[in-house]
Structure 1
């Protein structure tokens, strides 16, 4: 089962191990990443990119511990590789939508193309790099809704330039630069022999208020390079990930959250999207084809609307307007 574990821990090698200095979170996200990649028909580096983003989303919706919290990430990036997303002027990157109840959905803006994927997968080992395909040029915007039920404006939004072209490293940069919380974020996806998702997991460690970023240095060293990828060669639980990151030091678990892929799209949402065209354009669409399919970018689900459905919708729009 996919689950996120929250814990608090003392500083590494602290003389007072009973005094917490950081919060540490670990998430196993294999099933939800597999489901999302199945829906989007992603393999190889594209699956790694989306899987790291989904895992990061699960870890980042932990600020208030409220199921009403919502996190959205809009990453727009540009690659210099010919034929890769963003190289023709249209941005690549990803979209992410995660909630405090442990549900998450996401999608890549565009694919990476087939030929560079094959070459990279054939020659790479350990942590596979995304930066040549995602690109290091661009920006990501993070929007947090802290309490959607409060009826008040509890939104925070921050934007940072990309620094690495790697999903977790750029989101770590956002946490440090925009939210100004010393943070370490590492997310990983392992592939099977066919390029499908074998395992996915991630870690987020942050100092408690008043803590210095230097506290995270030993953890950063342990998680450098392909360390997390190597750890995931065997099945792991979140507690295993925390023990590794903390160098075997003690931690106190403070809560768990089940994690799952979930999309809030549906026939009514698809109908509302088409309604935004206006009555005349909906009528025109009805005359062009027998069935119009509205496909959700976040989950790949398609919702058919017949010509009769569209004409009925156009009539409703005109009635509302009158």
Structure 2
């Protein structure tokens, strides 16, 4: 079962027990990443990119410990290859929508094609770079809705430039610069010989207010390179991930949250999306085909609207407009 563990810990190199100075989190996300990749038909580097992003979303939506918290990540990037006339390369990036109740959904802005899959299978167990395919140039926007049930505006939004073209490193950069919380974020996805997801997990460590940001240095060194990927060669529980990151130092568990893939799309949402076209365009669409398909970008689910349903929708829109 996918689960996120929250804990607090003292500095790993403390000579004696001390007051907690770090907020530490670890998440095992294998099932939800497998489900999301299955729905999108993703393998290889595409699965790694989406899996790291989904895992990061689960870790980041923990600031208030409220089930009503919502976090959205919008990464827009361009590959290093320039287009004709010196224009930006092919656009890419990803979208993540995560909630404090442990549910998450997401999608890539574009696929990588078949070539990265073949290259991926040669080193399916190590830390594989995403920057050549996601792109190093672009921007990352994170929006936090701290309490969706609150009557007041409780939204915070921050945007940073991409610095690495790697999902976790760019989100770590966001935490350090926009939210100004010294942070370490590492997410990893392991594949089998066919490019399918075998395991997925991630670790987030942050210094508490008044803590020394240098306390993250030994963790950063311990999780460098392929360390997390190597650790995940065997099934791991979140507590094992934290023990590794902290070098065996004692930590105090605070709470566990079950994690799962979930999308809130449905027939009514699909109908609302088509309604945004306006009455005239909806009616024109009804005249072009007997059935119109609406596909959810987050989960791949398809919804069908008949020509009769579209004409009924157009009539409703005109009625409301008048």
Q: Check whether TM > 0.5.
A: yes
How many angstroms apart in 2 are the aligned matches of 1:129 and 1:239? Answer: 27
Where 1:150 maps in the other structure, the secondary structure is coil
What does 1:179-198 align with in structure 2 at a 5 Å threshold? 179-198=179-198
Distance 1:133 1:28 in 2: 25
Q: CA deviation digits over 1:44-87, x for unaligned, max 9?
A: 0000000000000000001000000000000001112489xxx9
Is the contact made by 1:10 and 1:20 (CA closer than 8 Å) also made in structure 2? yes
SS at the partner of 1:298? coil
Q: TM-score normalised to the size of structure 2?
A: 0.96
What is the distance in 2 between the residues matched to 1:125 and 1:225? 12
1:65-104 equivalent positions in 2, closer than 5 A: 65-81=65-81, 89-104=89-104
- The answer to whether the 8 Å contact 1:69/1:146 transfers is yes
Report the Cα distance in structure 2 between the residues aligned to 1:268 and 1:27, rounded to whole angstroms.
33
Q: CA deviation at 1:223?
A: 0.3
Runs of 4+ in 1 over 6 A off after TM superposition: none
After alignment, is 114-123 or 20-29 more displaced? 114-123
Matched with 1:29 is 29
What is aligned with 1:167? Answer: 167
Q: Which runs of 5+ in 1 are unaligned?
A: none
Alpha carbons 1:81, 1:133 under 8 Å: kept: no
1:232 alignment counterpart: 232
Q: Does 1:276 align with 2:283?
A: no
Q: 1:89 offset after TM fit, Å?
A: 4.5
Q: CA deviation at 1:321?
A: 1.4
The match for 1:319 is 319
For 2:302 and 2:17, locate their aligned partners in 1 and report how far apart those are by CA, in whole Å. Answer: 53
Partner of 1:41: 41
**How far 1:16 sits from its partner (Å)?**
3.8
Query: Which structure 2 segments of 5+ residues have no match?
Result: none
SS of residue in 1 equivalent to 2:165: coil
Distance between the aligned counterparts of 1:89 and 1:166, measured in 2? 17
C-alpha separation in 2, matches of 1:123 and 1:63: 35
Calculate the TM-score normalised by the size of structure 1.
Answer: 0.96
Asked whether the 8 Å contact 1:11–1:17 carries over to 2, the reply is no
- With 293-302 and 110-119 compared, the bigger mean Cα shift is at 110-119
Does the 8 A contact of 1:192 with 1:198 survive in 2?
yes
Quote the offset at 1:114 in angstroms.
Answer: 1.6
Equivalent residues in 2 for 1:91-240, closer than 5 Å: 91-122=91-122, 126-240=126-240
